[in-house]
């Protein structure tokens, strides 16, 4: 059910990602998964660049965990695989937290995404394409 969000993000990037002139907009992204000690989780993440559309990466693990990549957008969906404990997910662009959420509900789900800023060249191009 959460995969359509990832595919929508990837589709938008596909529209503008074919341009060779956009290679300089890539940034370093880190997706940090933390929470209660040794809490188990599963989910998907993607860090999309300007040269290719990656498929979401399916992961299963225990906190703490980090996933890194270079791109222009990042998105993730993570789920607690236990009833107890807290799960926290952060998306960092460089050293700055750009998106964050925490869940304590049993088998809770976190969906996060960071697309280019409203004034970015990517959003300006999308605006011109859609107008």
The confidence score (pLDDT) of residue 130 equals 54
- pLDDT-based confidence at 49, cuts 50/70/90? confident
Q: Taking the C-alpha atoms of 54, 6, 16 and 117 in order, what is their torsion angle to the nearest 10 degrees?
A: -120
**pLDDT higher than 90, residue 29:** yes
- Which helix or strand (DSSP H or E) is residue 65 part of? strand 65-71
d(CA 51, CA 14): 9
Please write the tens of the pLDDT for every residue from 87-121: 999 999 999 999 999 999 999 999 998 866 666 66
**Would you give the end-to-end CA distance of the chain in angstroms?**
30
Closest CA to 68 of 29, 118, 14: 29
CB atoms within 10 A of CB 16: 19
């Amino acid at each position: 059910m959460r995969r359509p969000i990832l595919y929508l993000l990837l589709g938008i990037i596909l529209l503008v990602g074919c341009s060779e002139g956009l290679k300089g907009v890539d940034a370093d992204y880190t997706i940090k998964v933390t929470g209660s000690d040794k809490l188990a989780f599963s989910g998907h993440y993607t860090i999309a660049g300007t040269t290719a559309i990656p498929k979401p990466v399916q992961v299963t693990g225990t906190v703490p965990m980090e996933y890194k990549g270079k791109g222009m957008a990042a998105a993730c969906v993570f789920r607690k695989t236990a009833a107890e404990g807290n799960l926290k997910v952060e998306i960092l662009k460089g050293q700055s937290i750009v998106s964050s959420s925490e869940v304590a509900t049993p088998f809770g789900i976190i969906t996060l995404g960071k697309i280019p800023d409203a004034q970015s060249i990517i959003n300006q191009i999308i605006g011109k394409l859609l107008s």
